[in-house]
Amino acid sequence: MGRQLRIVHHTGYRYQREVATSHNEARMTPRSNREQIVLATTLEISPTAWTYAFRDYWRTHVTAFEIPAPHDRLQVVATSTVEVGDRATAGHGLSWEEVGAPDLADLQVEMLQLASHVEPPGELRTLARRIRREAETPAQAVHQVVDAIRERVEYVPGATEVHTRASQVWETRAGVCQDLVHLGLGALRSIGVPARYVSGYVMPSQDPVVGQVQTGESHAWLQYWDGTWVGLDPTNDTAPGDFHVEIGVGRDYFDIPPLKGIYSGSSESDMFVEVEITVLA
C-alpha cells in the first residue's frame, strides 16, 4: 500500500421548521479491499440518534439511524483514514466473444440493465454501436465511448440535480461527475459491456502538501468488466489512482447515495455538504 489520506465528510439537512422525527441511511464509510485499507473510521450524528450498522446487497457499509425527537437540523460527520495503493488500470484483455458469453451475461446481469436514468439517448446508442463494430476489444471500446462522452458533455458544477436523466445531460451538453458516469454506464451496457457505478472521494490537487487540508468533494467514477473490475474516471479523464478513495459500488447513483432518508413534518429542507481531504503520508 502507499498513500494515506484522511477524509472528513460533513453533510446533513437544515429544516425550515422543526420536524417530528427522521429516519436515514448514511453510506459514508470507505470499504477495505485489495486496493485500499481503512485504518480508522468514525461516524458522528447530531442530534443523538439510534443507529444500526450493516452491509447492503452491494457490500457497502451502511449506518441506518433514527432521530425520534423534534429537530430543525441534522448533521452527519464521517471521518476516515485510508491507505490507498495501486489500482488496476488494465484487465485481462477479454475478447468480444468472452464478454458476450451467456454465463457472463447471467453473472453480471445487474450491471447490464438499462434503468431509465442511465438509458442512453439514440445518438449515443448509435455511436456506441459503431465503436463496438470497429473496436478490436471491449476495453478499447470502453475508452473510445468515454472519450466521445467527454467530447460532447462539459463538466459544469451545479448543472444538474440527482434525478436528471442521462438523456437530458446528453442534450444539454453539461453535467457533473454522476452524469458522466451514468452516460458511460448506459452506453457501455447497451453494447454488452458490464459496467458499475463507484462512489467515493477524490483529492482535488494532484500535488498536495502533506498535512495541508484540501477542500474536496464526493466523487463518482465507473468500473467495467475485463476479467476483473477496471476503473475509469470520466470527469478527470484518467484511471483512478492513489488520490481516489472508494466508498462502494452499485448499479448507479441511487444504489449508493451518501445520505438519504425521510422525515415527519411539513417543513422543507436544504442539504449541505463539505468534504475535507488531507494527505497524511
Quote the distance between the C-alpha of residue 126 and its chain's center.
26
CATH of 96-204+217-255, one of 2.102.10.10, 3.10.620.30, 3.40.50.10800, 3.40.50.2000: 3.10.620.30
**117 near 170, Cβ under 8 Å?**
no
CATH of 3-85+257-279, one of 3.30.428.10, 1.10.150.20, 2.60.40.2250, 3.30.1280.10: 2.60.40.2250
- Average pLDDT, integer, range 17-22: 92
Question: What span, in angstroms and rounded, lies between the C-alpha atoms of 165 and 110?
Answer: 19
Q: Is 70 exceeded by the pLDDT of residue 1?
A: no
Q: Is 39 exposed, middle or buried (0-12, 13-18, 19+ CB in 10 A)?
A: middle
How far, in Å, are 5, 10, 277 from residue 213 at the CA level? 10, 14, 6
Domain ranges across the chain: 3-85+257-279, 96-204+217-255
pLDDT tens sequence across 65-101: 999 999 999 999 999 999 998 888 889 999 999 999 9
Question: What span, in angstroms and rounded, lies between the C-alpha atoms of 106 and 152?
Answer: 32
Q: Is 90 exceeded by the pLDDT of residue 229?
A: yes
In the chain, the percentage of residues whose pLDDT exceeds 70 is 100
Residues 6+ apart with CB under 8 A from 239: 87, 89, 230, 231, 232, 233
- Average pLDDT, integer, range 23-34: 95
**146 near 195, Cβ under 8 Å?**
no
Q: If pLDDT is split at 50, 70 and 90, which confidence band does 200 have?
A: very high
The pLDDT score that the predictor gives to residue 265 is: 84
On average, the pLDDT of the chain sits at: 94
Partner residues linked to 11 by β-bridges: 76, 273
Question: What span, in angstroms and rounded, lies between the C-alpha atoms of 74 and 163?
Answer: 22
Q: What do you get for the CA distance between the two ends of the chain, in Å?
A: 11
Q: Which residue has the cell 436515514?
A: 24
Question: What span, in angstroms and rounded, lies between the C-alpha atoms of 30 and 263?
Answer: 26
The pLDDT score that the predictor gives to residue 206 is: 81
- Average pLDDT, integer, range 257-278: 91
Q: Is 90 exceeded by the pLDDT of residue 162?
A: no
On the question of a common fold for 3-85+257-279 and 96-204+217-255, the answer reads: no
Nine cell digits for residue 122: 439514440
Question: What span, in angstroms and rounded, lies between the C-alpha atoms of 172 and 191?
Answer: 23
Question: What span, in angstroms and rounded, lies between the C-alpha atoms of 117 and 169?
Answer: 10
